[in-house]
Structure 1
Amino acid sequence: MMVMCTVLASAVIGGIAFKAGRSEMRDAVFTRLTEVRQSQTRALTSQIQDLKNSLIIYTKNTVTQSALEAFTAGFDQLANAQITPAQSQTITDYYKNTFIKQVEQYSGTKLDAGALLPQSNAQRYLQANYTALRRDDDYAVEITDAHDGSQWSAANAIYQKLFREIVTRFEFEDALLIDDRGNVVYSAYKDVDLGTNIINGPYAGSKLHEAYLKAMSSNTVDYVGFTDFEFYQPAEMQPTAWMVAPVLRDGRAAGVLALQFPITKINRLMTFDKQWQQAGLGDTGETVLGGPDELMRSDSRVFLEDPQRYKREVVQAGTPPDVADMAIRQGGTTLVQPMTSAATLNAQRGETGTIITQDYLGQNTLQAYAPLVIKDSDLHWSIVAKVTTEEAFAKETSFTKTMVLITTGIIFVVCLLAIYLAQIFVRPIRRLESGAQRISAGDYNVAIPVDTRDEIGDLTEAFNEMGRSLTVKEDLLIQQRKENDELLRSLMPESLAERFKQGEEIIAVEHQNVTVIFADIIGLDRLQAELPPDASLTLINELIRQIDAAADNLGMETVRTVRNGYLASCGLTVPRLDNVRRTVDFALECQQIVSRFNNDTGNDLSVRAGIDTGTVSSGLLGRPSVVYDMWGSVVNLAHQIKDGSPQPGIYVTSSVHEVLQEVMRFESAGTTVVDGEAQPIWRLSERR
């Protein structure tokens, strides 16, 4: 019997522990991914907002306004500047031998140099004296004066240091000044877009064109435009975004300052600067951005760690080989690698959540997804944090093996112990048989030797005799104590009942993080008036019984039931991290119970509930009659919003709304005045 009971108990307990442990482990992984996703979202939006604020400061600075005016004047003066044949040849050689080769290397397509060569005189002059002389980016941004005696070079000598500081300190690819005609009158890096016209020039098809027009026509104070990434030809086809803000003169836009935003800033943040393990993402976890075109807006972890492995896995997962080759040629997966998992599609629809699905590598992964909203921009990005199921559930596999080994070990040890104890248990049976007989006669201080051969039979008869004399008294005492304990527990929580039994007279406890619900069943007064007392009481008792059962299932703690009102709490005596959700679930269950009651009885009752969360106090009131009660501002506010709401429904405060707004839908229900201040009230409409 000992072995059988132990085996059964071990199996049941082990099964329960395994199921609970596995559920907790999976929830922990999803929670961690969600935290990483939220952290990355906050960091990215904060970074972009900081850069926007900096750009606003630059454009409002009189130095920038003066620079635009000076470069525009210098650019106009170059309309009739002389270009020597040698300078023209230098431009042609630079395009053919340097720029075109770099673009073709990254894009994999052949370009016509003649279609890209500068056409206007000012453009040719600037590119001959600056662009064509570029040896590298460092030289281009450091040069301040070509010593050609032009007005443009004089302006560059004055303002280049300022814009060089902006682009190098904030790691921008370039800074452009564009006048009100669309001419790029200045470039910090003196690239091939210097002197071009963004409206009708060779690069008018870029996203900078649309961003420029929006900035010039914007009537918004502190406007900053932020474009999505694109392959920008002057940047050797590297993924590029733009931050654009108007430069005002006399209250109107005289031009714009455009900062070329590189993908490296996004990648450094999204890849934790390649410190994935230190960030808690293990060996396979990563965070990636996706765009509305279902292409990545950040680089793949596998690509950064091993490009060839990336190519093998994505091609095997269904990505076309030429796409993988392009990613390797570009040096990254941004704007190249498709992201078509269910998580990305859901995020593009504005949804937030977690899912187990295949990723772009063809691996089963846990993914936490959400739309990424950048304030005052037209971006529609999504962010996904993911890790493979193999790594995520590795602890679950180890946990399963451990549970099996422990359960098996316990059963084995108990079997050995049972064999040993069985021999020992037989020896005192004779002494117990004699002792039991004498104890039943009232002699408790005896030591009887073994003097019988039928141990089990005599022991049973002896204990029966003893039981007849002691059991009745013990049962009565136990029953009395049980009734007393049940009466106290029905009046107050068990912890307060124990203190009350020990003689404490003043019992008051403050509780943190407690959610309180005040609910009224509207229509009970009419029901009581229409039915006889016995009939109405029977119906109401059945209704309250169902509500009490729902409260018990959800871990709610009933404080009191008064007339047609119901006061309960969650997290009061048993702390619960999800006490807010449980309380709202309880309110929804009450609505369903009342709805079923109406269908069964033909009545028209409804529920009106007020819910708030925070700190409350509870204790025992009165002497000698003791009443358990709960009080505090949270209780008052829950009661106030319940009474102040004319229509049935579940009304919550801002504290509850903030906790559940991602999982449930609320609608505004007006405000209520608390301590002289208006506080918003929300009405629960449905689950998300």
Structure 2
Amino acid sequence: MTIRLRILLFTLLIVTGAMIAAGTMGYKIGASTLQSGHSERLIQIRLNRAQALKTDLENLGNNLLVAAEMVRVRDAVSAFHESFKKMGQNIPEKSLANDIQVVNSYYSAAMDNKSDTHIADRLNKSALVLQSMILQEAGRNESNPRNVIALKNADPYGYFKTHSEIHTFLSDYSDRFQMDDVLLLDKDGVVVYSVQKGLELGANLDTGFFSGTRLTDVYRWSQSAPPQTFRFFDFAPLSSGFPEYVSYIAAPIYDQKSYIGTLLFKVSLSRFDQILSDNYQWKKFGLRETGEVVAFGPDGLMRNSSRLYHENPGEFIKQFSSAGGRDPSIKSIQSKSTTALIAGLPVEKVRHYLRSEDSLETGTDYLNAVSLMSIGKVQLPGGVEWALIAKSNFNETTGPINHYLVVFVVIGLLFLVISLGLAFFFGKQLTQPLNYLHRKVQSQGGAFQAINYSNQDEFANVFNDYNSLAQNLNQEKLEKAVLEDVILNLGKVMFMVEIIPGYEGNLKAIIRKTNRIAYELIGTPEVSIIGSDISL
């Protein structure tokens, strides 16, 4: 493995590891910060909606108290009571056949309940006759029963004289405060008036079809409730035969110190939808794409409709079915166009929330979607408690980071490519002097010559050492060659000497010829040696 490849691999390992470590830490810190901020927002939204819910019901209750103290309302409930007493005493049994047919025909058509054609049989005589008169009058006028104020024919029981005096006022009251209905109960527990003139009109809450219902609870409470008090009654079926859920705000009506009746506002589910969604403005309220505030009663059922169902019914049904929703519940949701009082959470889970302190947790919602939830409870007038959950899908909590995750990855990859490019460049710069040295040495064959290297970097010392080594090696090679040449020529004549007699009997030794090795060995030019006297 080459040095350059090792540098590239080392750079890849270090940069990738650093990016993963930094990215993981950054993501966790960012996600934690976003989750903390989103959690705080959910808490504030839940508290805000809880207060809005309490305030709205308290305002309704206060307006209910104002109406309950009005003389016209007290007079009306007393007059209605007398009219019903007259009805009970004067209605002959033999005249009921036509009334039964009128009531059965109307409710079987209005409720699309062809299988139940005996609704009238469940009503007492007074309720049956009163509703029959109203339905016949509405038929003659081709209008809704609510619009019936008085009869064109005779009013044998005096009921419609009182009705014409109070109906416009209570109808306007109902519209002003967006109530489903406004009802009056007399002191005997008879529903003596209803703006909508529904099935409960004329019912006796002690006996018959509507005994043991939520209206009965209202009546029982009213009998002992002190003046100037009101109470909210949570949703419950209208009666055993009609599973329509109803809720009321009720206030007792007193004449001096005597209880004479009860005034009720019938509160619709849509009211709670509007309050908890801030009039269906989830995004504007800070709940982004999936957030919502949902109320759950002690029975585990939702008290407002799902945001997902409001925005995308098909997707809700798909997820609800995947979460274990049964076909009857799905059909009920589709027919009623709401998830309230149909979908919900396990009862024990909701009761746990009602027993516990406010909390923030990550868990599954009513669609089994993992959600970040701010959980608390809200106490409504009269002691009713609902679990209130502000939630959003957990994936949306880190949405801002996830939105830019691809950008971060692209930037990281770009940074990695740049790092590898730089590593390649500097690796090349690092190995270039060595490659240059290698090429120069190869080009010299067996010879060693000084190599010129002009850069003043760490490799300059390498080249200087190489040049010194080459110089020393060349000197040694030269000396070796001389010695080898000497050794080869040791068997040859080194000098040719002429002996000449000298004066006074001395002899002279004159060098006449020399071997090349000889003058090279003694380091003297040949011309200087030839003719030299070497005699002693």
Is the counterpart of residue 177 in structure 1 residue 181 in structure 2? no
Q: Kindly provide the CA deviation profile for residues 322-355 of structure 1, in whole angstroms up to 9, marking residues without a partner as x.
A: 2222333333222222312997454222332222
For 1:35, the equivalent position in structure 2 comes to 44
Is the counterpart of residue 66 in structure 1 residue 75 in structure 2? yes
Q: Kindly provide the CA deviation profile for residues 12-56 of structure 1, in whole angstroms up to 9, marking residues without a partner as x.
A: 544432221121122233233323322221211111111011111
- Residue 407 (structure 1) shift: 3.3
Q: CA RMSD in A?
A: 3.6
For 2:132, the equivalent position in structure 1 comes to 128
Counterparts of 1:69-468 in structure 2, within 5 Å, are 69-81=78-90, 88-103=96-111, 105=113, 110=116, 112-113=118-119, 115-120=121-126, 123-134=127-138, 139-147=144-152, 148-149=154-155, 150-219=157-226, 221-233=227-239, 237-340=243-346, 344-375=350-381, 377-414=382-419, 416=421, 455-456=457-458
Check 1:175–1:342 CA distance in 2 against 1; reply closer, same or farther (3 A cut): closer
For 2:464, the equivalent position in structure 1 comes to none
* Distance in structure 2 (CA, Å) of the matches to 1:232 and 1:456: 95
Q: Which stretch of the first structure deviates more once superposed, 123-132 or 18-27?
A: 123-132
For 2:521, the equivalent position in structure 1 comes to none
Check 1:192–1:45 CA distance in 2 against 1; reply closer, same or farther (3 A cut): same
Gaps of 5+ in 1: 426-450, 460-688
For 1:47, the equivalent position in structure 2 comes to 56
User: Greater relative contact order (Cα 8 A, min sep 6): structure 1 or 2?
Assistant: 2
* Distance in structure 2 (CA, Å) of the matches to 1:202 and 1:131: 20
Q: Kindly provide the CA deviation profile for residues 356-409 of structure 1, in whole angstroms up to 9, marking residues without a partner as x.
A: 22222232222222112113x232211122222344444333344333333333
Give the partner amino acid of 1:227: F
Check 1:234–1:8 CA distance in 2 against 1; reply closer, same or farther (3 A cut): closer
User: Is the contact between residue 298 and residue 385 of structure 2 (CA under 8 Å) also seen in structure 1?
Assistant: yes
Counterparts of 1:485-500 in structure 2, within 5 Å, are none
- Residue 155 (structure 1) shift: 1.1
Q: Which stretch of the first structure deviates more once superposed, 272-281 or 187-196?
A: 272-281
SS at match of 2:265: strand
SS at match of 2:380: coil
- Residue 180 (structure 1) shift: 1.2
Give the partner amino acid of 2:332: M
Check 1:134–1:296 CA distance in 2 against 1; reply closer, same or farther (3 A cut): farther
Check 1:63–1:350 CA distance in 2 against 1; reply closer, same or farther (3 A cut): farther
How many matched pairs? 428
Q: Which stretch of the first structure deviates more once superposed, 191-200 or 126-135?
A: 126-135
Give the partner amino acid of 2:292: E
Is the counterpart of residue 57 in structure 1 residue 61 in structure 2? no
SS at match of 1:229: strand
* Distance in structure 2 (CA, Å) of the matches to 1:181 and 1:342: 38
- Residue 78 (structure 1) shift: 3.1
SS at match of 1:314: helix
User: Is the contact between residue 10 and residue 410 of structure 1 (CA under 8 Å) also seen in structure 2?
Assistant: no
- TM-score normalised to structure 1 length: 0.55
* Distance in structure 2 (CA, Å) of the matches to 1:109 and 1:286: 39
* Distance in structure 1 (CA, Å) of the matches to 2:39 and 2:321: 28
SS at match of 2:368: coil
Check 1:137–1:402 CA distance in 2 against 1; reply closer, same or farther (3 A cut): farther
* Distance in structure 1 (CA, Å) of the matches to 2:419 and 2:241: 74
* Distance in structure 2 (CA, Å) of the matches to 1:311 and 1:411: 46
SS at match of 2:27: helix
Check 1:304–1:453 CA distance in 2 against 1; reply closer, same or farther (3 A cut): closer
- Residue 261 (structure 1) shift: 1.4
SS at match of 1:337: coil
* Distance in structure 1 (CA, Å) of the matches to 2:35 and 2:349: 18
For 1:515, the equivalent position in structure 2 comes to none
- Residue 301 (structure 1) shift: 2.7
User: Is the contact between residue 177 and residue 258 of structure 1 (CA under 8 Å) also seen in structure 2?
Assistant: yes
Give the partner amino acid of 1:348: L
Check 1:137–1:412 CA distance in 2 against 1; reply closer, same or farther (3 A cut): farther
* Distance in structure 1 (CA, Å) of the matches to 2:258 and 2:121: 35
Q: Which has the larger radius of gyration?
A: 2
Check 1:182–1:341 CA distance in 2 against 1; reply closer, same or farther (3 A cut): closer
SS at match of 1:141: helix
SS at match of 1:254: strand
* Distance in structure 2 (CA, Å) of the matches to 1:277 and 1:199: 48
Check 1:409–1:93 CA distance in 2 against 1; reply closer, same or farther (3 A cut): same
Check 1:360–1:16 CA distance in 2 against 1; reply closer, same or farther (3 A cut): closer
Gaps of 5+ in 2: 1-6, 431-452, 462-536
Check 1:104–1:233 CA distance in 2 against 1; reply closer, same or farther (3 A cut): farther
User: Is the contact between residue 104 and residue 110 of structure 1 (CA under 8 Å) also seen in structure 2?
Assistant: no
User: Is the contact between residue 343 and residue 384 of structure 1 (CA under 8 Å) also seen in structure 2?
Assistant: no
Identity of aligned residues (%): 20
Give the partner amino acid of 1:128: S
Give the partner amino acid of 1:212: Y
